[in-house]
Amino acid sequence: MSRGKVIITGGCGYIGSHTSVELIKNKFDVVIFDDLSNSKEFIMDRIYQIAGVKPAFEKVDLSNPIEADRAYYKHSDAHSIINFAAFKAVGESVEKPILYYKNNLYTLINSIEAQKKYGIKNFIFSSSATVYGNPNRLPITESFQTKRAFSPYGNSKKIAEEILEDFSKAYPEFKTISLRYFNPIGAHESGLIGELPNGIPNNLLPYVTQCAAGVLKELQVFGNDYNTKDGTPIRDYVHVVDLAKAHVKALERLLSGNMKENYDVYNLGTGKGVTVMDIINTFEKVTKEKINYRITKRRAGDVQALFASAEKAKNNLGWEATLSLENMIETSWNWEKTFRDM
Ligand code: UFG
């Protein structure tokens, strides 16, 4: 029996597509809203190939209030919205702040407005560890103060969380969970879905796989003078399939009626810190491919070390990351090869 309808905004994207698969596997009816500005419609067929059900699909620009209302009205029988739809290139957001604030925040506001208008009770927001800025202690727990992020992209996440908190205070019948992702990498084990970076990637893993595939010539390692074991920055890399499963757990929490507060936040990470050199060395070991890399100067805005305390998600959601760094790298590389052959 169906567990009801869930709207996934940005469901053709990287984390959205993996989450759609997990929701279908867990018997939810998935409807994807996507404007396909940074994703491809064939991902719908891939979701079908993996999960055996093709989600309903609406091509909609959610930053446009009329388009957004039309789509939400059509699917107003949904009980939940999971909001992935957003622009996410940190560097581009510094150059085009208005574009980022407009797209990311209008999309959010139009979605919660529809939520209220149509009585869609539950909301999950895809947030980021970037809301913690440069923390002075580690691991990062959810009680750490959030800070103004370095980039408009990051700041749009922080502002969005504040909007959602205010919304849930004003309208207690609506429940919201913000999930703060650390560094999502990896791809589905089938090799059918994964990250599809637009142009030259900003993030480490897609850059590494494209170097190994010969698409890019050289990886720049942005600084080896940090105070870490090998001088390169530490991050908490988490498998996208683990992240996708956390959304199912968060949804179950919202539906359970067991939430003490009607707005809550969770870190999603492994709790383990990994350096850039660890990534390169593990990649070379797992794939037997060489990475042509060069140490360059630090990238503006990078912080030395970030890793999560994932205790709260474990205790309240019953979620824990289970997939290894080797698996993250292997599936990323497998996806890179498959998608190049498409
Ligand atoms: N790095 C390189 N070379 C590259 C790319 C990255 O050395 O070509 C290094 C960075 O300096 C950093 C690490 O690899 O130390 C990870 O960098 P990413 O760009 O992959 O990820 P970030 O940690 O900078 O950013 C990620 C998400 C953002 C989010 C942020 C929150 O991509 O969306 O975490 O902390 F805002």
Tell me what the mean pLDDT of segment 41-64 comes to: 97
What's the pTM? 0.97
Class of domain 5-184+238-269: alpha beta
Domain ranges of the chain: 5-184+238-269
- With a 6 A CB cut-off, is 130 part of the ligand 1 pocket? yes
Which atom of ligand 1 is the closest one to the Cα of 235?
Answer: 23
- Is residue 190 within 8 A of residue 50, CB to CB? The reply is yes
- At residue 154 the predicted structure's pLDDT band, cuts being 50, 70 and 90, is very high
- With a 6 A CB cut-off, is 19 part of the ligand 1 pocket? no
- At residue 125 the predicted structure's pLDDT band, cuts being 50, 70 and 90, is very high
Q: What is the pLDDT of residues 241-264, one digit of tens each?
A: 999 999 999 999 999 988 989 999
Which atom of ligand 1 is the closest one to the Cα of 132?
Answer: 35
pLDDT exceeds 80 at position 292: yes
Q: How far is the CA of 203 from the centre of ligand 1 (A)?
A: 5
- Residue bearing the bigger pLDDT, 208 or 150: 208
- With a 6 A CB cut-off, is 156 part of the ligand 1 pocket? no
For residue 342, the model assigns a pLDDT of 61
Helix (H, G, I), strand (E, B) or coil at 60: coil
Q: What is the pLDDT of residues 92-103, one digit of tens each?
A: 999 999 999 999
Q: How far is the C-alpha of 99 from the C-alpha of 92, rounded, in Å? A: 9
Question: Does residue 153 carry a catalytic annotation?
Answer: yes
Q: How far is the C-alpha of 243 from the C-alpha of 246, rounded, in Å? A: 5
Helix (H, G, I), strand (E, B) or coil at 244: helix
Tell me what the mean pLDDT of segment 58-70 comes to: 98
Q: What is the pLDDT of residues 266-285, one digit of tens each?
A: 999 999 999 999 999 999 99
For residue 197, the model assigns a pLDDT of 83
pLDDT exceeds 70 at position 37: yes
Which atom of ligand 1 is the closest one to the Cα of 219?
Answer: 8
Considering 132, 153, 226, 266, which one is annotated as catalytic? 153
For residue 201, the model assigns a pLDDT of 93
Query: Which residue's CA lies nearest to atom 26 of ligand 1?
Result: 183
For residue 254, the model assigns a pLDDT of 98
Q: How far is the C-alpha of 169 from the C-alpha of 167, rounded, in Å? A: 5
For residue 149, the model assigns a pLDDT of 86
- With a 6 A CB cut-off, is 185 part of the ligand 1 pocket? no
